[in-house]
Copies of this chain bind each other. A is one copy, B any other.
Amino acid sequence: MEEKKVLHPFDQAVSLVRNSDTYTGRTSDLYENMVGPYGGALAAVLLNSVMIHPESLGDPLALTVNYAAPVKKGEFQIKSVPVRTNRSTQHWYISLSQDEATAVTATAVTAKRRKTWSSQEKNMPEVKHFSEVPPVSVKNLPVWFSQYDTRPVKGSIPPLFEIKGEQPFTSAHSTQWIRDNPARKIDFLSLTAFADSPAPSVYVRRNKFVPAGTVSFTVYFHATKEELGLSGENFVLVDVKSSRIHNSYCDQSGEVWSENNVLLASTSQVIYFKE
């Protein structure tokens, strides 16, 4: 008898079917955001198109995703092209389209690592352990929040959907524990999605919801596959700060940490906002 396999909702959201030279995917209702899918899940499906590509070399090193237009519910096509393959690095251009129009573009670099002199330069912020932080209520939040167990330590989103237009906070610094719900072993795809999970810095700083959306999102993967394996199904800590909020655009950048102080990824993004 065959083993009955139930896909984790995240695996379903990032799954692709290979055609001749493109992949077909489908937006997941479980990862819907306010307009279109959660950007972190979209970034993950783009990266997946590289990782499952028959010519793929090494592991993800860098990913930049540009959200050019809203992605509508339903099918999309992804084309991932290994533009240049070297001995230890490979450069990719990726585009996601619907009805023949490009909605998302991305570049990725995959690489083989060798053992070298190494040093973790940043230290994990000292925060309460996730077991001491209550998960946020996903009530009234976009659907994708239900696919995560999010435990905000500092300046995080959910209250912003309730407390509108109060005093601005003094900073846009935002720190949260997060893991998939139900729990799922961390891999490069979920790490990508975690990196996009903090609220836009403009919400956090102003303690107010304003229409906003990521324009460009970058992840540098520091973790090896082995380190991700050691992280198991545990929570990760995502810690981001903004440097400037200025005339329609703001940035944020920071780190994704394993529970035991391994820097898994660095991330940055620039976000459009209205008003």
Residues of A near any B CB (own CB < 8 A): 61-62, 64, 66, 68-69, 83-84, 86, 88-89, 91, 93, 95, 101-103, 105-107, 109, 111-122, 171-172, 201-202, 205-206, 215-216, 218, 220, 222, 224, 241-249, 251, 253, 255, 263, 266, 268, 270, 272-275
Contacts and interface: CB of A to CB of B under 8 A. Distances in A.
Give the number of copies in the complex.
Answer: 2
Contacts of A101: 84
Given A84-B102, A105-B93, A215-B109, A247 B118 contact: yes
A248 to B, nearest CB: 5
B83 A205 contact: no
A235 B74 CA distance: 51
Contacts of A107: 64, 66, 105-107, 216
A113 B249 contact: yes
B242 A121 contact: yes
A253 B251 contact: no
A253 B62 CA distance: 14
Name which of A202, A248, A272 has the most chain B CB atoms within 10 A of its CB. A248
A116 B206 CA distance: 12
Contact of A68 (B88, B91, B122, B251): B91
Contacts of A88: 248
A275 B113 CA distance: 11
A247 B83 contact: no
Given A68-B84, A216-B109, A248-B116, A270 B61 contact: yes
A222 B243 contact: yes
Given A69-B86, A121-B201, 4 more contacts: A68-B84, A83-B105, A116-B247, A120-B243
A244 B122 contact: yes
Contacts of A274: 116
Contacts of A263: 243-244
B243 A122 contact: yes
Which 6 interchain pairs have the tightest Cβ spacing? A68-B84, A113-B247, A68-B91, A62-B216, A64-B64, A122-B243
Nearest to A205: B119
B215 A89 contact: yes
Contacts of A201: 121
10 contacts: A113-B249, A116-B247, A118-B246, A119-B205, A121-B241, A218-B218, A220-B268, A220-B270, A222-B251, A243-B266
A224 B272 CA distance: 15
Name which of A103, A111, A206, A247 has the most chain B CB atoms within 10 A of its CB. A247
